[in-house]
Amino acid sequence: MPLSRVSPQQYQQQLDRKAERIREQFADLDAPELEVHSSPPLAFRMRAEFRIWHEGDDLFYAMFRPDDPKTPVRTDHFPIAHERIQKAMGALLDALRPNAQLRRKLFQVEFLASLSGELLITLIYHRALDDHWQQAASILADELGALIIGRSRKQKLVLSRDYIIETLPLASASYHYRQYEQGFTQPNARVNIQMINWACAATQDCGGGDLLELYCGNGNFTLPLAKHYREVIATEVAKSSIRAALHNCELNRVENVRFIRLAAEEVCEALDGVRVFRRLKDLPRALADYNFSTVFVDPPRAGLDPSTEQLVQRFDNILYISCNPQTLHSNLLRITRTHRLQKLAIFDQFPYTDHIECGALLTRRR
């Protein structure tokens, strides 16, 4: 996103245009009144990455325009990043410039911050890292009050730990999340809080019972939603996400959630008894014997494939979080043959871009 598009004075107008676009797009689904959730206009991104550009004795952060990917754009300020990242950017460069051990063949820096105040910085190199680098990086970590990781080809040096702890103050309680370096996390923490609160409120009247969640990630939605259900079965294919989800479940003392590494199509096979999965052996009963009143999906940009579309239509209540309104609309054109769209919301995760996150609640037609 070009920083020239960052204009806090015009933020509300940009969000209004997004909202109007969604209203028009979903009008053919007899959509309810659209709920609009805004972002802070500045300092909203919890992640940022930059190329490091070397010019003589100087070095600076660089970004690249899509239409000119070879010309670096010097980036001295990044106002959409969280304050913790903005503060660290200048301090990091000041520490790198006179330090040959830390700056040599450094080509990229990645930042991951939390609302709770932690910061993880990954320094990526075009050379092997040794004990001398590790000693210099340890001093840097103390100076910045940050966690430092060094990466190069086939090498990862973790000085302390490779994750931060995020704390989200939700409407019901505060939840703590272990967020791993280079793992997926929601980029806009304050909007993420609104998304979780909306999901919890939307499902309060869904009849309790059990919850089946597909694409659960690190348990971002899973753990707060668990309060509203007797038992939760949450599935995900990425091993790193399952590892984080298990830690987060323990961290928050949530005892009614089971995380299973299954793809969406495998869930369908397990429910129908087509295949027996060893990964389900620790469940107290067969997947088909749970009383699932609700299914929750948060798929990638491609949306739900045809088999998963058919799977979710088995359930009385469908909660759908989408990062792509086009694929959401396409899915809902078919899902609304059996279910009615009860709630529709947008969440502005990415201000000053065309992207928008959506939430939909559907209930079975009677």
User: What pLDDT does residue 2 have?
Assistant: 62
Q: Is the pLDDT of residue 6 over 70?
A: yes
CA distances from 79 to 43, 53, 69, 127, 343 (A): 6, 20, 22, 31, 33
- The CATH number for 47-164, chosen from 2.40.50.1070, 2.40.50.140, 3.40.50.10090, 3.40.228.10, is 2.40.50.1070
309 is catalytic: no
User: What pLDDT does residue 281 have?
Assistant: 83
Residues 6+ apart with CB under 8 A from 27: none
323 is catalytic: yes
Which of 219-228, 268-277, 326-335, 355-364 is least confident?
Answer: 268-277
- Mean pLDDT confidence for 237-265: 92
The model's pLDDT over 305-337, given as tens digits with 9 standing for 90+, comes to 998 999 999 999 999 999 999 999 999 999 999
Residues 6+ apart with CB under 8 A from 56: none
List the structure tokens of 58.
């100087």
Residues 6+ apart with CB under 8 A from 281: none
Q: Parse the chain into domains and list their residue ranges.
A: 3-41+187-364, 47-164
User: What pLDDT does residue 1 have?
Assistant: 60
Tell whether the torsion through CA atoms of 300, 304, 308 and 311 is positive or negative: positive
User: What pLDDT does residue 271 have?
Assistant: 85
Catalytic residue chosen out of the listed positions 200, 216, 323, 358: 323
User: What pLDDT does residue 175 have?
Assistant: 97
The model's pLDDT over 138-191, given as tens digits with 9 standing for 90+, comes to 999 999 999 999 999 999 999 999 999 999 999 989 999 999 998 888 999 999
% residues pLDDT > 90 (the chain): 81
Q: 133 or 183: which carries more pLDDT confidence? A: 133
- The DSSP secondary structure of 91-134, one letter per residue, reads HHHHHHTT-HHHHTTEEEEEEEE-TTS-EEEEEEESS---HHHH
- Mean pLDDT confidence for 21-27: 96
Domain at 3-41+187-364: CATH architecture: 3-Layer(aba) Sandwich (3.40)
Q: Please state the φ and ψ torsions of residue 249, each to the nearest 5 degrees.
A: -60, -45
The model's pLDDT over 188-237, given as tens digits with 9 standing for 90+, comes to 999 999 999 999 999 988 877 999 999 999 999 999 999 999 999 999 98
Q: How far is CA 362 from the centre of its chain?
A: 23
CB 51, CB 108: distance < 8 Å: yes
Q: How many CB atoms lie within 10 A of CB 18?
A: 19
| Matching fold, domains 3-41+187-364 and 47-164 | no
Query: Quick one: pLDDT band at residue 56, thresholds 50, 70, 90?
Result: confident
CB 228, CB 208: distance < 8 Å: yes
